[in-house]
Amino acid sequence: MKNTDWKKKGDAVFAGTYSRFPAAMVRGEGCRLRDADGREYLDFLAGIAVCSLGHCHPAVTEAICSQAKKLMHVSNLFYTEPQTELAELLTANSFADRVFMANSGAEANEAAIKLARIHSGKGRFEIISLSGSFHGRTLATVAATGQPKFHQGFEPMPAGFVHADFGDSEELEKLINPTTCAILCEPLQGESGVRPLTPEYLQKIRSLCDKYNLLLIFDEVQTGMGRTGSLFAYEQLGVTPDIMTLAKALGNGLPVGAMLTRSEIAASFTVGTHASTFGGNPVAAAAGVAVMKTMLADGFLEDVRERSAYFIQRLEEVAAKFPQLASGVRGSGMLLALVLTEKGIEHGTDIVQQLFERGCLINFAGMRVLRFIPPLTVSREDIDQLINELSEVLGEVG
């Protein structure tokens, strides 16, 4: 069947929660996708920062197929080899020594919220997050999300969440009260426009948590797993959280999430306080093990940083060439944005659509930047192709 056939069939059966491109993707390899009409696309979306090793990475594919032949699911009433190995890899390469396995970023954040509340004790339940943040689509994680547009139609929001203005540590401190138990933030906000939190700001948040005996939760669902050039973004910032959440790239396409913390905090989760039927499923966990081993291999993250520097340079060239449309570049690793001017913002959606028609996939994040989140394995040649197509589109728009 063709793209038009799949679109017609899908529109007849799906809830209308997505605005989809008119293409049905049928195959992927590396940084390339192919649709039902046989058209190829250069993918700088990576399933929204998920397929960080590229589509159908051989090591991940082999791990999935091998595990699927042995054991698909038994629930967390039993131990499994892949889940245990994945937890060992996560703790051995982070600040944490305990892991709770989930299926998604929202679920990992739900676990973090519940752990923060139960660990902090009776009467302490409120969590402060930041304006512009994004933490998930469940009711609790939507309430934690500091973007009112995601709240609309779902009010009243669950109680216990307040939002501090982005970058204002003094205002944040004023929100702390006897019911506060934690501060939740992304080291770099992805969905609201690739907005980095400075090391100084994060260090101030860490000091406030220490001063008021609060837990610091880092949502690294998008920034984790090599996306910013280190395995976890916190490693570059001189700030260590008490709890960290992961998902997206952890399974390179299979649904798996994780909440990481220290033993003394994890001890507040006892038998029956939290659970997930599918969390750490053997097949998803096997994919996660393959992802971790690939990213931890000598030179992998160094190569990401080197190609990131090249990508930033090329994007800066674009910004300099089209100052009427773009004002600069921000982000780190392979989570980058071309910041648009007011005129550029007017054309943001159209720029993305024109690039799609040219066979290049990006998105318009926060209605203010063009966001680029390609596989970490993207080549210089792929980057050059994207830059050439982007330049032609901006030349037509401008």
* DSSP code string of 61-78: HHHHHHHHTT-----TTS
In contact, 161 and 127? CB cutoff 8 Å = yes
Report whether 134 belongs to an annotated binding site: yes
DSSP state letter for 198: P
Report whether 29 belongs to an annotated binding site: no
The secondary element (H helix, E strand) that includes residue 330 is strand 326-332
- Of 387, 384, 287, 379, nearest in space to 30 by CA: 379
Report whether 124 belongs to an annotated binding site: no
Report whether 220 belongs to an annotated binding site: yes
Residue 117 gets the label, from left (phi > 0), alpha (psi -120 to 50) or beta, of alpha
Q: Hey, is 232 helix, strand or coil?
A: coil
Report whether 44 belongs to an annotated binding site: no
In contact, 300 and 89? CB cutoff 8 Å = no
Report whether 327 belongs to an annotated binding site: no
Report whether 222 belongs to an annotated binding site: yes
Place of tokens 């676990």: 111
Cross-strand pairs, 60: none
Report whether 219 belongs to an annotated binding site: yes
Residue 351 gets the label, from left (phi > 0), alpha (psi -120 to 50) or beta, of alpha
Annotated binding site for N(2)-acetyl-L-ornithine: 137, 276
Which residue ranges are tagged as binding site for pyridoxal 5'-phosphate? Answer: 105-106, 134, 219-222, 277
Q: Which residues fall in the annotated binding site? A: 105-106, 134, 137, 219-222, 276-277
